[in-house]
Amino acid sequence: MVIKLDSDFEILRFSDSIYEKITVEIQYKGEQIAQINQDKGHHNFEIEFFVDYIEPNFIPKFRLSDFIIALNKAQEILLEDNHID
């Protein structure tokens, strides 16, 4: 599942083998910038930020409000996943 936002952010729901439950990845302009996991429960989501990018000149600079929208959408996806279980 990929959700594209108007702000160049993308939210990807997927299963990462290092986590027990579904995670979401946040990408900006095609670069993975963060991953949110729910292994500690749906009230204790954890976010991991990435600093190794494919494009060496990539600078993760964007509007704060756009990033907050992306974070909220990612959280919504994880909460929906918990509701399904």
CA 34 remoteness from chain centre: 5
DSSP state of 82: H
**Boundaries of every domain in the chain:** 2-84
- DSSP label of 52: -
- The C-alpha atoms of residue 51 and residue 38 are separated, in whole angstroms, by 21
Question: Which amino acid makes up residue 10?
Answer: E
- Average pLDDT of the segment spanning 35-64: 92
Binned at pLDDT 50, 70 and 90, residue 82 comes out as low
Whether 64 has a pLDDT exceeding 80, the answer reads yes
Residue bearing the bigger pLDDT, 45 or 16: 45
